[in-house]
């Protein structure tokens, strides 16, 4: 099942509708089945300076 976000917009000028539009965003289903998440160790990014 896909989730969709739909936005509907009308543009008016001097009280007269000039444009009508819509847009949508589809999102894939979530497939996370639980468990733990392995996080990246930020200490590997720190460069050590040699004096």
The reported pLDDT for the residue numbered 50 is 67
Please compute Rg for the chain using Cα positions.
24
Q: Look at residue 47 and give its three-state secondary structure.
A: coil
Say which DSSP state 14 is in: T
Residue range 1-51, pLDDT digits in tens = 576 777 888 889 998 988 888 888 888 888 878 888 788 888 878 777 766
């Amino acid at each position: 099942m896909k989730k969709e976000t739909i936005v509907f917009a009308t543009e008016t000028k001097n009280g007269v509708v000039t444009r009508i539009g819509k847009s949508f965003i589809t999102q894939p289903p979530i497939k996370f089945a639980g468990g733990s998440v392995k996080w990246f160790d930020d200490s590997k990014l720190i460069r050590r300076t040699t004096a």
